[in-house]
Structure 1
Amino acid sequence: MRRHVYVVATLLTALAVLTACGGSGDDPEPTPRRADRAERLYQGHGGASAQNPAFSPDGRSLLFTVFHDGYNEGEAALRVLPLTGTGGPRTLLDESDRAAVNLPGASWHPSAGVAFASDRAGRDEVWVIEPGGRPVRITAHDGDSGYLEPSFSPDGRWIVFQESVEKESGEPGLGSLWKVRRDGTGAVRILDGPATHTDNRQPNWSPTGDRLVFQRREAGGEDWALYTVHADGTGLRRLTTTPGEHTDPSWSPDGRSVVFSSTAGGLDLPQIFTIQSGGGRPTRVTNAKNTYDGAPSWSPDGRWIAFESHGGDEDHPTSLWRVPAPRSG
């Protein structure tokens, strides 16, 4: 596969073209705000669910996935929401009968493009698209597994992702973590889920380039914990030790903290928390009753955390919100 090199100027020009294209309809109501200072950025129409917010490298836009048929259901498209000025989200990729899904966190690199997973080639593979361009396939593999949840290394040369296999019952099996070069070569398995009897998911590369953060649970277990590991698979370390289900991790822009979704403290529904990258006691960021808050991403300037949110009903579509971020570190 021929290697594609992208420059920042081209990316920003393409983004300007993208935002001039037709949108998908935005919410005309005044901005709703919550008591915890969270404010709503976008809510889809009908049963559409807006998920997985990830900031653009310049912090002026928000990449997200919209599932057309509800939360994690049906076809899915990639859209970009401007955070300055007016206007609703613009479509980056929307293909009939296909699902294109990004990961919260480091899924948009200033020179390498937007990384996402899609079944547009028949099975879930890792793809990259430059705003205003066409998708470029990164992985191609055989078997029954899917390659999902990709994120970029800080230099844009590598992509880390998860490999997932469904059991015969339809339930997910034990996930492994892989990395591959941006040009599609050099695929290496970092953590072998079946061999270690663990399920490993949602890897995000740190902005300092030295570690990955991800969620893991033991085979047959129910609760997820957060771990960090070096990109070569060494230095595995558990990050969260408090009881609860801890998921959706991504990094602060300085790499000193991790933001995630958690039921820490005995919560019935997850809220947004942060924790120092070396471990410690989680700090709660959102505080909304009867509300699920998940899939958080930290803004490049460190001021905001974007996340998805819905009422307590698991099947209810999510909308996109942001909340002032606590001081990192």
Structure 2
Amino acid sequence: MNVRPPVPRTVSTVRIVRGVRRLVLVGSAVALTTTVLTGCSAARTVDGRDGEPVAKAVPPSGTPGAPGVKRPDGAELLVDRDGTNSAQNPAFSPDGASMVFTVFHSGYNAGGAALRVLPAGGGPARTLLDEPDKAAVNLPGTSWHATGGITFASDRAGAPEEIWVVKPDGGEPVRVTRHSGPSTYLEPSFSPAGDWIVFQEATPAVEAKPLPDGGELGSLWKVRPDGTGLVRLLDGPATATDNRQPNWSPKGDRVVFQRRAKNAQSWALYVLNSDGTGLRRVTHDVGEHTDATWSPDGRSLVFSSTAGGLEIPQVFVANADTGDVKRVTHNDTGYDGAPSWSPDGKWIAFESHPGAADAPTSLWRIPAPA
């Protein structure tokens, strides 16, 4: 398969895109048969805005009184895609009882975006934040902290995008960062203690030395939730690297992220210490490796990958020390990605759509490997 990094997205074309989850296939030689899941008539509709179609929450199998939709690989449907609304980026609450996720209103990574909260076992979702013509986007993984709230990126105050925090029960979001210039602040996640937020700064290629294909250069920063103590952990422009989607480890001593190095054509997973030292590459298999988050015990990573020569990304896990990988989802005719591990270690939630081309996604969960 011939794979290239995704085309950089800007606010003028696509609202606050979550780093790089999807891989764009080059050429027209790939022909795939799509499978459309049916049997969702029992789904309950989530309240939308202005009469728009909305994602539908579907109780998974095992929920009394509501039959679920299940794939051959054991994945269970949580939120069905509906119309142009794309349910993305599931992230568990610290107690594992709920999930926050993003709904893009105009397709995959497109248009305005809302934050919604769903019972982790399925059921009706509630809207946490939905503002016309604005986007609020969370990161899979550790975007929800028990006392800190839910952190997300948004252009709700106008360009550029900044880091915000909102309480799980709603209310007025609190702005964390303030900056100017062409760069955007994206992909925030909380440290386990709630005393830091790590995030990505995306610098347009026109403002920095570009990668060979003209891609953006991403730096990693951390900041206190009150906006003080801003510290740069990795400098993308200075190293000619693109670093994205940072997630804290459960112990708070490390951060996992995806990187495309100078002259590299694919993404790999890296970890570094929370003070910016100890940079180390984790994945070495051929393929694209993105969307990494941690297992509750900190021993494993769950991520999206084309390891093994796959044409469409699937969900994998890897040993955080050795990089040994194991495939989790088996959806040969569709995309699976943006995974999060439940706090009890039993489930992995992820987004999915049939086919290789970008399309609205639904949310699923699958038993985590032993």
Aligned residues: 305
Cα distance, 1:165 vs structure 2: 1.9
Counterpart Cα distance in 1 of 2:130 and 2:271: 33
Indicate the residue corresponding to 1:105 in structure 2: 141
User: Contact 1:55–1:300 (CA<8 Å) still a contact in 2?
Assistant: yes
Across the aligned residues of Structure 1 and Structure 2, the Cα RMSD in angstroms comes to: 1.7
Counterpart Cα distance in 2 of 1:280 and 1:261: 14
Question: Given the alignment of the two structures, is residue 159 of structure 1 paired with residue 197 of structure 2, yes or no?
Answer: yes
209 and 27 in structure 1: CA distance in 2 versus 1, 3 angstrom threshold: closer
Question: Given the alignment of the two structures, is residue 260 of structure 1 paired with residue 303 of structure 2, yes or no?
Answer: yes
Indicate the residue corresponding to 2:271 in structure 1: 228
SS in 1 for 2:253: coil
User: Contact 1:78–1:102 (CA<8 Å) still a contact in 2?
Assistant: yes
Amino acid at match of 1:145: S
* Aligned residue runs from structure 1 range 109-124, under 5 A: 109-122=145-158, 123-124=160-161
Amino acid at match of 2:328: V
State the 4+ residue runs in structure 1 displaced beyond 3 angstroms.
Answer: 22-25, 27-30, 167-172
User: Contact 1:52–1:295 (CA<8 Å) still a contact in 2?
Assistant: yes
User: Contact 1:23–1:88 (CA<8 Å) still a contact in 2?
Assistant: no
Indicate the residue corresponding to 1:4 in structure 2: none
SS in 2 for 1:194: helix
User: Contact 1:206–1:213 (CA<8 Å) still a contact in 2?
Assistant: yes
SS in 2 for 1:175: strand
Indicate the residue corresponding to 2:358 in structure 1: 315
Counterpart Cα distance in 2 of 1:171 and 1:316: 25
Indicate the residue corresponding to 1:42 in structure 2: 79
Cα distance, 1:220 vs structure 2: 4.7
TM-score by length of structure 2 reads 0.79
Amino acid at match of 2:359: H
Counterpart Cα distance in 1 of 2:109 and 2:358: 9
Question: Given the alignment of the two structures, is residue 138 of structure 1 paired with residue 138 of structure 2, yes or no?
Answer: no
Indicate the residue corresponding to 2:225 in structure 1: 182
Indicate the residue corresponding to 1:15 in structure 2: none
Among 64, 85, 103, the residue aligned to 1:66: 103
Counterpart Cα distance in 1 of 2:57 and 2:342: 22
Counterpart Cα distance in 1 of 2:128 and 2:281: 36
Indicate the residue corresponding to 2:62 in structure 1: none
Among 75, 87, 96, the residue aligned to 2:132: 96
Unaligned stretches of 5+ in structure 1?
1-21
SS in 2 for 1:78: strand
Larger mean CA deviation between 312-321 and 290-299 belongs to: 312-321
User: Contact 2:112–2:133 (CA<8 Å) still a contact in 1?
Assistant: yes
User: Contact 1:27–1:44 (CA<8 Å) still a contact in 2?
Assistant: no
User: Contact 2:57–2:123 (CA<8 Å) still a contact in 1?
Assistant: no
Indicate the residue corresponding to 1:273 in structure 2: 316
Cα distance, 1:69 vs structure 2: 0.2
Counterpart Cα distance in 1 of 2:119 and 2:305: 28
Indicate the residue corresponding to 2:343 in structure 1: 300
Identity of aligned residues (%): 64
Unaligned stretches of 5+ in structure 2?
1-45, 49-53, 59-65
Amino acid at match of 2:286: P
244 and 80 in structure 1: CA distance in 2 versus 1, 3 angstrom threshold: same
Amino acid at match of 1:65: T
